[in-house]
Amino acid sequence: MQLSSILAPERTLCNLPGVSKKRFLTTISEHIAKTTPGMSADAIYTALLAREQLGSTGIGNGIGIPHCRVAECQRTTGALITLSEGIDFDAVDSQQVDLLFVLIVPVEETAEHLKVLGALARLFHQDAFCHALRACKSNDELYRTAIYFDEKSD
């Protein structure tokens, strides 16, 4: 999986204010819907919230990978976000989350969903990658850094 195939500059957000998990999910659902034709914020939010209720997608070390399948999604879509301050995300290590990758996948793409999640988990388990993302000061820098590390790790 190439990160550039699912992530776009307009879905890369640096230093968003950290408020709460639900507020984050609302904000990012609205942003993804606004930048992705054919998807509604309500459908995205409902699916993300339902997935979080099954168990937190906070994987530890300040990282969250909220993900879900959405019926109106036509192609796998990602959003990369850093928060200005961490939020409680019910992570496995109880640490606050400040680095997130939101993944929206078409309903019928179960195998693709698991494949992309695995690739994202490997990428986010690299300390240098996470450190570089957290050091970014702009949306563009965040996008370019993520793509650079992804291409370098191939």
Which residue blocks in the chain are alpha helix, DSSP H? 21-35, 41-54, 110-124, 127-134, 139-152
97-115 burial by CB neighbour count: b if 16+ within 10 A, else e? Answer: bbbbbbbbbbeeeeebbee
Q: How many residues does the chain have?
A: 154
Which 8-state DSSP code applies to residue 123? Answer: H
Cα(100)–Cα(61) distance, rounded to whole angstroms? 11
The number of angstroms, rounded, from the C-alpha of 13 to the middle of its chain's C-alpha atoms is 10
Active site residue 67: yes
Which of these is catalytic: 67, 113, 125, 131?
Answer: 67
Q: Dihedral sign, CA of 28, 153, 62, 92?
A: positive
Q: Which residues are catalytic?
A: 67
